[in-house]
Amino acid sequence: MDGSATGAAAGHDKLGRLVPGHTEWQARKLRLAALVEQLSIDYDSRSATAQQLLAIAAAHLDQAARARSSALRGRATRLAAKVLDRLERRPQPPKPGFDQYVKAKGGA
């Protein structure tokens, strides 16, 4: 084995061996934290319940991204969608009107 199949994976060196100090648990924890941060931008996460639901949705989205089976990917995606449906989306900022657009472009 030349390491070409596993060398690109996080926590492995070029020969495919595990790097000391890397754990899959820690890598998953970092992935979930990043997903929760991304989801909290779009969803209202002020309450503790909403934060827990975001963490659950992030776990399902991570599972969907890493699953090899299409059935598992679909199931995890549907579960994440169900959890996210229970949360309120943050309101989108209003789009600028035509008058603001003309002022920004330097017109009269």
Going residue by residue through the chain, which has 108 residues, state the pLDDT in tens, using 9 for 90 and above. 444 444 467 777 888 887 888 788 888 999 999 999 999 999 998 999 999 999 999 999 999 999 999 999 999 999 999 999 999 998 887 887 888 888 888 765
Name the pTM for this structure: 0.70
Domain count for the chain, please give it.
Answer: 1
Length of the chain: 108
Q: In this structure, is residue 11 part of a structural domain?
A: no
| Alpha helix stretches (DSSP H) within the chain | 24-42, 48-66, 70-85, 98-105
Report pLDDT for 63. Answer: 97
Structural domain harbouring 72: 24-90
Q: In this structure, is residue 18 part of a structural domain?
A: no
Q: In this structure, is residue 32 part of a structural domain?
A: yes
Q: In this structure, is residue 12 part of a structural domain?
A: no
Q: In this structure, is residue 52 part of a structural domain?
A: yes
Q: In this structure, is residue 100 part of a structural domain?
A: no
Q: In this structure, is residue 15 part of a structural domain?
A: no
